[in-house]
Chain A
Amino acid sequence: MLLARHPFRAMGSPCELHLYGGTRAFCDALVELAVAEVRRFERKYSRYRDDSVTSAINRSAGDPDGLVVDDETARLLDYAATAFASSDGLFDPTSGVLRRVWNLKSGRVPEPSELEAILPLVGWSRLRWEAPRLVLPQAGMELDFGGFVKEHAADRVAELCRQRGARHGMVDLGGDLAVIGPHPDGKPWVVGIRDPRSPEGAMASVRLGGGGIATSGDYERCMIVDGVRYTHVLDPRTGWPVSGLRSVSVVADRCLIAGTATTIAMLKGARNGALWLDELGLPNLRMDDAGEISGTLADAEAEAA
């Protein structure tokens, strides 16, 4: 068996496909297929492309008739609705509009009046989703699939590879990982979890024989103003960045679920996030603002050491 490693860039992140196959041709064919599938998701849900589904949805904002979406998008919206309901409204794909006032590159903290003006555009409960019709009643509302489509794409690509006969491999879409199958000798993949304060170092390693892992951290995009760290993780209810956790990693049967769990935990903050992850019962690793590492994966690491 030979191992093909194919790094590429997609969805604004470095991605890599690790794939074992019997022949070079088999690996090449699958790599091509997998990359095409990632690009398909990227094209379909990009905020930056006029011809994307996301843009079509956002253009429809204010139109009382809304628009009819395709089956795949419908299922993603169903998933978002479930995640919204399961997180007391913290997981909210309409919160992306807050980026208009939180420009992390500007180094400027928005005025309360700016936030007040934009908050009426935020809230999954403000939109009407009755499959297959989606209505964003307010002009200016926006939907962003960015919070979960990459994780879903990782799962989909892993599934596609398995359907096409791959047994051993891993899909890494910018740190959102879905395992196709363990190494050919049955050994799990060893995944390093980045230290939020020294992005080149790993704070822990996780063994993954199946399923997926996702990590959310405040190191990804943030700004520091007057010594205060403002992260890209924005509470849809207040419009303010949340703090408490620097990084959360979750292992689940699917990368999508892992990703949703990390997002919700980050939004819930150090204490409630930890409680929520415990309640979910998913293996996790957290680093709080004080640099303290905790979570079931940290315990396991400590046990192994």
Chain B
Amino acid sequence: MQLRRRQGGSKESAALRALTTSALALSGLARVAAADTPIDGVQTSYSFSTYAEDDLPESKGVPDTEHGRYEVTTQQARIAAPLTDHIDFALEVTHEKMSGASPWYNVPDAAGSPIQILSGPTIEDERNDFLLKTSYYLDNARLGLSGGYSDENDYTAMNFGFDGETHFNEKNTTLSGGIGMSFDEINPVDAETEPTRPTHETKQTYGLNIGLAQILNRRSLIQSSLSYAYGTGYLSDPYKEVYQELGAVYHPDMRPDNRHALSWLTRYRRHIEEVEATAHLSYQYYWDTWGISSHTIEASWYQSFGDSLQITPSIRYYTQNEADFYVSYLRNTPSDDEFSSDYRLSTYGALGFGIKAEYTFRTPWLIDVEWKLKAAYERYISAGDLAWDSPSVEAPGLVDFKVYSFGITAVF
């Protein structure tokens, strides 16, 4: 026998809706959009990932078959714990090892199409990053403070952030906002032998964001946020050059010394009870004063199998148009003093496919521990033709890559 509900489809009475909303505020369910207490228990996690770019196809450049293109292995350890009833903290330590050849400049082939030249000496670098975050929880709000330090051979960065969120409308609405800043110092290697490289530069980045999340009903949530970022100082890439055909001149990468950027992100989440899944959809629009605008659309499907296993396939499409000063190479002495042949500033589109599996289990024996194992794979391909408006000339350095990652989390 099946229980028959008389609420034919979506016709729920106003009284039941009001009671349900209020009852949900009493339970953990409403916390999807609201965090008002420190985390329970100590969370520790470790993750490992490898990022590997595909070799450059021979039609686009001269692949470095010995070392391959860029590769990064990342290890991250994180611990988060409550300190008091109102305060928690998290410490994150990241170690990255980078190696491989990366795009340097483009030269024209016999037909005038750009060919990517990769950096001659293979880059070999390590980066260490520390991030400390603390949150203070009030009755209906959270305030957060963070500080980070990142150090590599030729680069150091210090960053600070302050953010907060508050709930109202019976915790159905969450307003959040934050400010952040980063102070970076760049000391390029081989500046003595490479005439286009500066020896010491700095840059500063400031950011501001504001967001609103609204629980629409028991099953769905919408979030929207607006971010503004301002960067000033040396925003160029010291390891890139622009080739000038006339006279075979190599210019340093020269970008404007400031950039204002705006981005608007909207996310929608819907739980589909019948199949134990949650669909996530998001759209982001980005615009900056360098003339770049981009659109990102992403869809993920969080499928639960019972309560321990969750498998999440996702797909993402990205398209951008080039910066005002992007050139694949210069034919003549430039009249302007801003130019870059960084493929990331060109017109292109990209597709990303990912699949993630997460397995949760408990070992309640000696001490109760909840474990989470995660494995994920992502494939990303980019090409000029994938852009909404295909470019007249595709940047030869456009990258395809794969990422494998594994993680383990224990909550005590």
- The residues of A with any CB-CB pair to B shorter than 8 Å are 25-26, 29, 71-72, 74-76, 78-79, 81-83, 85-87, 132, 152, 155-156, 159, 162-165, 167, 206-208, 251, 253-254, 256-257, 260-261, 278-283, 296-297, 299-301, 303-304
Asked whether, in the complex, the Cβ of B7 is within 8 Å of the Cβ of A29, the reply is no
Q: Beyond A152-B26, A155-B23: 20 further Cβ-contacts under 8 Å?
A: A74-B139, A75-B25, A79-B23, A81-B22, A83-B19, A85-B18, A159-B28, A164-B362, A164-B364, A165-B307, A165-B362, A253-B20, A257-B23, A260-B19, A280-B15, A281-B12, A281-B13, A283-B4, A297-B3, A299-B4
Asked whether, in the complex, the Cβ of A25 is within 8 Å of the Cβ of B16, the reply is no
Asked whether, in the complex, the Cβ of B13 is within 8 Å of the Cβ of A296, the reply is no
Bound complex: CA A296 to CA B5 (Å): 8
Specify which chain A residues have a CB less than 8 angstroms from the CB of B14 in the assembled complex: 86
Asked whether, in the complex, the Cβ of B6 is within 8 Å of the Cβ of A278, the reply is yes
Specify which chain A residues have a CB less than 8 angstroms from the CB of B7 in the assembled complex: 281-282
Asked whether, in the complex, the Cβ of B5 is within 8 Å of the Cβ of A300, the reply is no
Bound complex: CA A297 to CA B7 (Å): 14
Count residues of chain B with CB under 8 A from any CB of chain A: 35
Q: A78-B22, A79-B26, A155-B27 in contact; A29/B3 too (CB < 8 A)?
A: no
Q: A71-B139, A256-B23 in contact; A283/B5 too (CB < 8 A)?
A: yes
Asked whether, in the complex, the Cβ of B1 is within 8 Å of the Cβ of A304, the reply is yes
Q: A159-B27, A278-B6, A280-B15 in contact; A167/B306 too (CB < 8 A)?
A: yes
Instruction: Select which of B2, B13, B139 is within 8 A of A279 by beta carbon.
Output: B13
Who on chain A is nearest to B25 by CB? A75
Asked whether, in the complex, the Cβ of B18 is within 8 Å of the Cβ of A82, the reply is yes
16 CB contacts below 8 A, A to B, read A25-B364, A72-B26, A78-B170, A152-B23, A156-B27, A159-B28, A206-B3, A207-B1, A254-B27, A256-B26, A257-B19, A261-B19, A278-B6, A279-B13, A281-B7, A282-B16
Bound complex: CA A48 to CA B179 (Å): 50
Specify which chain B residues have a CB less than 8 angstroms from the CB of A26 in the assembled complex: 364
Who on chain B is nearest to A283 by CB? B3
Q: Which of B325-375 contact A (CB under 8 A)?
A: 361-362, 364-365, 368, 370
SS class, residues of chain B in contact with chain A? loop
Specify which chain A residues have a CB less than 8 angstroms from the CB of B26 in the assembled complex: 72, 75-76, 79, 152, 155-156, 256
Who on chain A is nearest to B16 by CB? A280
- The residues of B with any CB-CB pair to A shorter than 8 Å are 1-8, 11-16, 18-23, 25-28, 36, 139, 170, 306-307, 361-362, 364-365, 368, 370
A86 nearest CB across to chain B (Å): 4
Who on chain B is nearest to A167 by CB? B307
Specify which chain A residues have a CB less than 8 angstroms from the CB of B36 in the assembled complex: 71
Asked whether, in the complex, the Cβ of A281 is within 8 Å of the Cβ of B364, the reply is no
Bound complex: CA A162 to CA B370 (Å): 13
Who on chain A is nearest to B12 by CB? A281
Specify which chain B residues have a CB less than 8 angstroms from the CB of A162 in the assembled complex: 307
Q: A79-B23, A283-B4 in contact; A163/B362 too (CB < 8 A)?
A: no
Who on chain B is nearest to A260 by CB? B19
Asked whether, in the complex, the Cβ of A281 is within 8 Å of the Cβ of B6, the reply is yes
B189 nearest CB across to chain A (Å): 51
Asked whether, in the complex, the Cβ of B368 is within 8 Å of the Cβ of A281, the reply is no
Specify which chain B residues have a CB less than 8 angstroms from the CB of A304 in the assembled complex: 1
Specify which chain A residues have a CB less than 8 angstroms from the CB of B8 in the assembled complex: 281
Q: A29-B364, A251-B3, A300-B3 in contact; A132/B139 too (CB < 8 A)?
A: yes
Specify which chain B residues have a CB less than 8 angstroms from the CB of A163 in the assembled complex: 28
Bound complex: CA A59 to CA B170 (Å): 27
Bound complex: CA A251 to CA B23 (Å): 15
Asked whether, in the complex, the Cβ of A279 is within 8 Å of the Cβ of B15, the reply is yes
Bound complex: CA A241 to CA B28 (Å): 36
Specify which chain A residues have a CB less than 8 angstroms from the CB of B13 in the assembled complex: 279-281
Who on chain A is nearest to B218 by CB? A253
Bound complex: CA A206 to CA B139 (Å): 40
B5 nearest CB across to chain A (Å): 6
Asked whether, in the complex, the Cβ of A78 is within 8 Å of the Cβ of B1, the reply is no
Bound complex: CA A86 to CA B306 (Å): 36
A176 nearest CB across to chain B (Å): 14
Instruction: Select which of B22, B27, B307 is within 8 A of A82 by beta carbon.
Output: B22
Asked whether, in the complex, the Cβ of B27 is within 8 Å of the Cβ of A86, the reply is no
User: Which of A86, A296, A297, A301: most chain B CB closer than 10 A?
Assistant: A86
Specify which chain B residues have a CB less than 8 angstroms from the CB of A208 in the assembled complex: 3
Specify which chain B residues have a CB less than 8 angstroms from the CB of A303 in the assembled complex: 1
- A-B interface, 10 closest residue pairs, ranked by CB to CB distance from nearest: A281-B7, A82-B22, A86-B15, A304-B1, A79-B22, A165-B362, A281-B6, A75-B26, A280-B16, A256-B23
Q: A25-B365, A29-B364, A71-B139 in contact; A282/B5 too (CB < 8 A)?
A: yes
